[in-house]
Amino acid sequence: MAGNVTRVAALGDLHCTKTSHGVFQPLFAKAAEAAEVVLIAGDLTDYGLPEEARVLAKELSGIRVPVAAVLGNHDLESGKGDEVRQILTDAGIVVLDGEVCEMHGIGIAGAKGFGGGFGKHALGPWGETIIKQFVREAVDEALKFEAALARLRTKQIIGLLHYSPVQQTVDGEPLEIYPFLGSSRLEEPIDRYPVSLVVHGHAHRGQLQGATKTGVPVYNVSLPLLSRSFADRPPFRVFDIPSDTETTCEPAAIPFAASPGRGRRATDAVAS
Ligand SMILES: [Fe+2]
Ligand SMILES: [Fe+2]
């Protein structure tokens, strides 16, 4: 921590496989050197297999800074999301699914999110039952995310998602799959709370940065995108966040105290 600033590293879409031994440990070591907090924006594993989660847990075992994560769609592929989550939790990673934690005084609200599309072209709950179920899932994830944001009373709040809340950071992907990359329903709660910034993954071919309607910065920290964009440095972003209090990295039951309004802006400092 430099003065009252905490450096937060963020990356996503690790897609750890059973044969990824030794692949991520050097990356996490560099992230922990560059930052006091590490955030992982989903798709931690490739097929959502417990064996993959165990490999990742081992890769993360030497990291000496608090790590918070959300699961991604790949982590649910094998129907073993609970087991994947438990393995990562046992390894000391705070896995958020509509929950919050506080690290170095920074509040982190995490949820996976879901698809549905953006703006006026977003899918509505109309017609076939399966379409209504799809939209229901998007609404439920947005409500879960909003409930988490509402529980935080820290001055600095980071939103941690897998799916994108805005279209800008998925631009570059094939148009046909936009509805499966994120949902504007996730943007609405961000603009109702004093969120400093949001990070997400999932759109491997998207854009690095966008913003919500009210200007909250949104960063796509998908590892393939970062690797392509910053070929000369490790694939994670680092953000300078003014910090307020001591670290408490357990999921915290923080009483409702959030008030709407614009938050402080963090600076995207480096990605060294
Ligand atoms: Fe991914
Ligand atoms: Fe994904």
Query: What is the distance of C-alpha 256 from the center of its chain?
Result: 22
pLDDT for 255 equals 29
User: Given the DSSP bridges, would you call strands 197-200 and 156-161 parallel, antiparallel or unpaired?
Assistant: parallel
- For residue 246, report the distance from its CA to the centre of ligand 1, in Å: 33
State the pLDDT confidence band at 243, using cuts at 50, 70 and 90: low
Segment 61-90, tens digit of pLDDT: 989 999 999 999 999 999 999 999 999 999
Nearest ligand (C-alpha, residue 163): 2
pLDDT for 244 equals 62
- For residue 218, report the distance from its CA to the centre of ligand 2, in Å: 17
pLDDT exceeds cutoff 60 at 8 = yes
**8 Å CB contact between 227 and 137:** no
- For residue 200, report the distance from its CA to the centre of ligand 1, in Å: 10
Give the C-alpha distances (Å, rounded to integers) separating 138 from 34, 211, 214, 222: 34, 20, 21, 21
Q: pTM for this one? A: 0.90
CATH of domain 5-251: 3.60.21.10
- Report the candidate in 76, 82, 17 with the shortest Cα–Cα distance to residue 42: 76
Segment 169-224, tens digit of pLDDT: 999 999 999 999 999 999 999 999 999 999 999 999 999 999 999 999 999 999 99
- For residue 38, report the distance from its CA to the centre of ligand 2, in Å: 19
Nearest ligand (C-alpha, residue 180): 2
Q: Which residue has the higher pLDDT, 246 or 25?
A: 25
pLDDT exceeds cutoff 90 at 272 = no
Nearest ligand (C-alpha, residue 75): 2
- For residue 244, report the distance from its CA to the centre of ligand 1, in Å: 33
Say how many C-beta atoms besides its own lie within 10 A of residue 47's C-beta. Answer: 17
